[in-house]
Amino acid sequence: MYSGTAPEWWQAFVVGHQLFWPRAWTNSDVVVVLDAESAHDWRVASVLSRLPPFPAVVFEAKPGPGVLCASFRSEGYCRQMYSNFFADRQTEADFVGFVDSDTMFITPVAVGDLFVGGKPRVSAYNGCCTGWNSPIERAIGGKPVAEFMTSSSFPFIVHRGHFAPMRAHIARTLGAATFDDAFHTICAEYGEHQYDLMGHYLWYAHRDDYAWHFRAPRGHDAFQAAQSDDADVLAAMQTRPAVSLMKMIGHSDF
């Protein structure tokens, strides 16, 4: 998390978490990742760690030269995307649920909202309104099937054991020596989004380990704009209204 968004995180995520995350789930933790080289981040951490939800704070070293780029928003924005691919090194939990700093729980959370038959629930639009899916075919090796960067996707849950093979797969598919090299290529040439890369990797490599729930973009009247007519995608389409757990504050159109 960029420390400058701490007030936003406090007003959005923390408020919703305190209201709607079950207190009985004592085996769940909130983890905040900050920049190890930033004195300001260390000061912010000293405050956050003393306040509900008492997050565990992880300080992460800046990647070496030639990894990050500023082709999409800023180098700092790129850094948080890169960091997410190493979530398996930031916690020992079996599953990692990603949220953005400006996302807020807006309804009570139940196990069935997060897992279906023990499998993480993955929500996405069968359609795309951005260019974030442009690197999917080259980086993942399969055609885009959905847009995973939506409010209804949060928390975006990934099995911790899938991060290492994900990094290896992306590097191998791009013909890069390391994941760092592969990440720079994607960032510099496309401007990536981590959730779309993750979601497509999981779809193609670990499809049976997740419960997939696709929706037509912006309502069922837009079904003709569907991105994929793959049989498995269509079988996972949701035809009943669903309540999103989280909302991006300020993104009322989602």
- Give the CATH number of domain 3-248; options: 3.90.550, 3.40.1560, 1.10.3470, 2.40.360: 3.90.550
Q: What is the pLDDT of residues 31-69, one digit of tens each?
A: 999 999 999 999 999 998 898 899 999 999 999 998 988
The end-to-end CA distance of the chain, in Å, is: 22
165: its two tokens: 């093979």
> Which of 112, 136, 125, 117 has its CA nearest to residue 233?
125
Number of Cα atoms under 13 Å in the Cβ half of residue 36: 7
Contact 115, 142 (CB under 8 A): no
Whole-number Å distance between alpha carbons of 229 and 215 = 13
* 216: CB partners within 8 A, 6+ apart: 125, 126, 127, 222, 223, 225, 226, 237
As separate numbers, helices (DSSP H) first and strands (DSSP E) second, the chain gives 10, 9
* C-alpha dihedral, 122 to 88 to 83 to 31, nearest 10°: 80
In order along its 254 residues, the chain shows pLDDT tens digits of: 777 778 888 889 999 999 999 999 988 999 999 999 999 999 999 998 898 899 999 999 999 998 988 766 678 888 999 999 999 999 999 999 999 888 999 999 999 999 999 999 999 887 655 566 677 888 899 988 888 887 778 999 999 999 999 999 999 999 999 999 999 998 887 766 889 999 999 999 999 999 998 887 655 444 445 556 666 676 666 666 677 899 888 644 43
Domain spans in the chain, listed from the N-terminal domain onward: 3-248
In angstroms and rounded to an integer, the radius of gyration of the C-alpha atoms of the chain is 18
The pTM score is 0.89
- C-alpha distance from residue 74 to each of 68, 69, 86, 117, 147 (Å): 9, 7, 20, 39, 22
